[in-house]
Amino acid sequence: MQNFEIRHSKRYNRASYAYYPADTAQMMKLEIDHRDGGLNYSSGSNEQRGIEMVMTKINVVEGLETYSPFDGVNGRILLTPTARYSARKIQEMAELMDGHAPEISAMWKVDRNAAIRLIGSIVSGEIAAKAA
């Protein structure tokens, strides 16, 4: 993979994948991770367990990353439901999305609905994985 980098969490003993665009001032970071599911205390809804992609607007100033968790640009999309955590399935999803990461990151800032459609097409197999 050329775009997504593996990240390990010592606290949860889990792996996730993150994509940081080359922008230095402001960028859309993409992460592919496992969602535990259950009650979302912010929305009050019940969420399904599975692999999700998280889009976060990051501001980089003098090497320090800052973000607002309540920024209207941030988002989360369930890519595929799973019964439990699987590092292999997360890696497969990161490999599938790897070639499209720059396009998704740029598109998310401009037209989120188009980015959501693109992500759905990639996951469903309508659009083939791109070699980066």
Q: What is the pLDDT of residue 14?
A: 86
CB atoms under 10 Å from CB of 100, counted, come to: 22
Q: What is the pLDDT of residue 24?
A: 66
Q: What is the pLDDT of residue 130?
A: 73
What is the mean pLDDT of each successive set of 10 residues along the chain, which is 132 residues long? 81 84 80 89 87 90 80 88 92 93 90 92 83 57
Q: Which two tokens stand for residue 104?
A: 């998704």
pLDDT one-digit tens code per residue, 58-69: 888 877 888 887
Q: What is the pLDDT of residue 122?
A: 92
Q: What is the pLDDT of residue 113?
A: 92
Is the Cβ–Cβ distance between 1 and 72 less than 8 Å? Answer: no
Q: What is the pLDDT of residue 32?
A: 94
Kindly state the percentage of the chain with pLDDT values over 90: 43
- Alpha-carbon 103 to chain mean position: 13
